[in-house]
């Protein structure tokens, strides 16, 4: 029965008539304790409802089997998908995860990392906010792996990105194949991913010997209102018959404008596939990001780094490939 007072190792030791050390060993399933004793103690712990004080344990061992996951926008389906994969893989490898959302705010990001370090969390998976955070200062040699975005101090940490340029190139190529002749683009200046996707757009045009017109390239902060303005500018003033948006947030804003103005006959392409694209009147060709692979590999690599199981002296930059979902 659960007594009111909290059960500690000392308490168990007293009741079992053994030392605290033996209890600790029994609870940690050490081979250095007699099976009978071990069993007895474990039983007792269960009956008394013993809960280890993880604080004390971490403090003593100077580590907590916990991975800090720092993401920049919890409302973005891309990130939640990655987070779920991270959680799954971490659980498999017997790690805990703590997720903190920074809302693209570098200050919050710094605080979050410092806070977790205060809790002895010493492995991180980070989707960096804007450039401007000095991870050297913050992390030192703490194992960390960056996802989705190239961090400020790249080259010093493992980084896991998708092949943004290639994905963008594929989408734009598909739009061209569908007959689009003048394709506008709206990208994000917030992350490195946005710039790479823009580069991919240019590559596709060049491959198809289409002149790049800087007037139909828009790249800035993702702000609903601004994206809507860009959209009408591109599709009406600039007479584009195709539009490539660099992520799901931009796509949403652009679609709002397209719907409001009742524009039709367009070829749309975007990063971040979503199930509801199937329901739209306009066909959307979309890049499906490998969220599960990204989350899974991030955890695996982090854990490998810790155990030093494979010799990974040099931090690596890994590119995952993307999949194209065509609709027309």
Residues in contact with a copy of itself by CB under 8 A are 2, 4, 51-56, 58-59, 74-75, 77, 80-81, 83-84, 87, 96-101, 103, 114-115, 117-120, 137, 140, 252, 255-256, 259, 275-276, 278-281
304 binds, among DNA, a copy of itself, none (CB under 5 to 8 A by kind): none
Identify which of residues 38 and 301 has a Cβ nearer to DNA in the complex: 38
Q: Closest CB to DNA among 61 and 237?
A: 61
Q: Hey, which residues does 323 pair with through a beta bridge?
A: 288
Q: Centre a 10 Å sphere on the Cβ of residue 185 and count the other Cβ atoms it contains.
A: 27
Which residue lies nearer to DNA by CB, 24 or 289? Answer: 24
Helices 35-48, 20-27: axis angle to 10 degrees equals 90
| 8 binds, options a copy of itself, DNA, none, Cβ within 5 to 8 A by partner type | DNA
Closest-CA residue to 68 (of 106, 95, 41): 95
Which of 93/115 has CB closer to a copy of itself?
115
Q: Look-up: residue for tokens 């450039």?
A: 131
Smallest separation (angstroms) from a copy of itself to the CB of 255: 5
Which residue, 81 or 325, has its beta carbon nearer to a copy of itself?
81
* Residue 281 binding result from a copy of itself, DNA, none, given CB thresholds of 5 to 8 Å by partner type: a copy of itself
| Closer residue to DNA in complex, CB, 94/262 | 94
Q: CB within 8 A of 188, min separation 6: which ones?
A: 194, 219, 220, 221, 222, 246, 247, 249, 250
- CB nearer to a copy of itself: pick between 17 and 118: 118
Phi, psi of 51 (to 5 degrees): -125, 120
Q: Which helix (H) or strand (E) holds 69?
A: strand 66-71
Task: Give min distance, CB of 282 to a copy of itself, in A.
Answer: 9
Please tell me the distance from the alpha carbon of residue 184 to that of residue 214, in angstroms, as a whole number: 9
| Minimal distance, residue 52 CB to a copy of itself, in Å | 6
**Residue 9 interacting partner from DNA, a copy of itself, none (CB closer than 5 to 8 Å by kind):** DNA
Rounded Cα–Cα distance for residues 104 and 9 (Å): 43
Helix 164-177 × helix 192-207 angle, to 10° = 40
Structure tokens at 190: 């917030």
| 10 contact, one of DNA, a copy of itself, none, CB 5-8 Å limit per kind | DNA
Q: How far is the CB of 216 from DNA (least distance, A)?
A: 56
Residues of this chain that bind DNA (CB under 7 A): 6, 8-10, 17-22, 24-25, 27-28, 31-34, 37-38, 50, 52-53, 56-57, 59-61
Q: CB under 5 to 8 A by kind: which of DNA, a copy of itself, none does 22 bind?
A: DNA
Q: Which of DNA, a copy of itself, none binds 31 (CB below 5-8 Å, type-dependent)?
A: DNA
User: In Å, what is the CA distance from 137 to each residue of 114, 127, 142, 168, 192?
Assistant: 11, 17, 11, 34, 21
Residue 18 or 203: the one with the smaller Cβ distance to DNA is 18
Nearest distance from residue 195's CB to DNA, in Å?
41
Q: Least distance in Å: CB of 291 to a copy of itself?
A: 10
State how far the Cα of 296 lies from the Cα of 298, in Å rounded to an integer: 5
Tell me how far, at minimum, the Cβ of 35 lies from DNA, in Å: 7
Name the residue among 113, 114, 137, 116 with its Cα closest to residue 127. 113
Cα separation of 128 and 151, whole Å?
6
Q: Are 163 and 193 in contact (CB under 8 A)?
A: no
* Residue 57 CB, nearest approach to DNA (Å): 4
């Amino acid at each position: 029965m659960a007594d009111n007072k909290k059960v500690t190792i000392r308490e168990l030791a007293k009741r079992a008539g053994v030392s605290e050390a033996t209890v600790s060993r029994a609870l940690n399933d050490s081979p250095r304790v007699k099976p009978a004793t071990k069993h007895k103690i474990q039983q007792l712990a269960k009956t008394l409802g013993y809960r280890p004080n993880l604080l004390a344990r971490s403090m003593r061992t100077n580590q907590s089997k916990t991975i800090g996951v720092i993401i920049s926008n919890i409302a973005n389906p891309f990130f939640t998908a990655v987070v779920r994969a991270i959680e799954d893989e971490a659980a498999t490898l017997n790690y805990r995860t703590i997720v903190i959302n920074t809302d693209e705010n570098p200050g919050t990001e710094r605080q979050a990392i410092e806070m977790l370090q205060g809790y002895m969390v010493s492995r991180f998976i980070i989707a960096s906010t804007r450039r401007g955070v000095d991870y050297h200062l913050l992390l030192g040699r703490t194992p960390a792996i960056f996802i989705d975005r190239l961090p400020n101090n790249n080259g010093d940490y493992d980084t896991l990105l998708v092949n943004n340029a290639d994905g963008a190139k594929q989408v734009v190529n598909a739009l061209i194949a569908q007959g689009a002749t003048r394709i506008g683009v709206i990208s994000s200046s917030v992350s490195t991913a946005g710039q790479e996707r823009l580069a991919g757009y240019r590559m596709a045009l060049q491959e198809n010997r289409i002149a790049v017109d800087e007037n139909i390239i828009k790249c800035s902060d993702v702000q609903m209102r601004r994206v809507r303005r860009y959209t009408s500018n591109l599709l009406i003033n600039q007479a584009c018959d195709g539009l490539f948006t660099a992520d799901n947030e931009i796509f949403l804003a652009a679609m709002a404008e397209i719907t409001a103005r009742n524009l039709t006959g367009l070829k749309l392409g975007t990063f971040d596939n979503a199930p509801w694209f199937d329901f739209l009147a306009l066909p959307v060709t979309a890049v499906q990001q490998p969220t599960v692979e990204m989350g899974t590999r991030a955890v695996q690599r982090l854990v490998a780094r810790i155990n030093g199981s494979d010799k990974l002296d040099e931090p690596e930059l890994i590119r995952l490939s993307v999949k194209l979902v065509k609709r027309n």
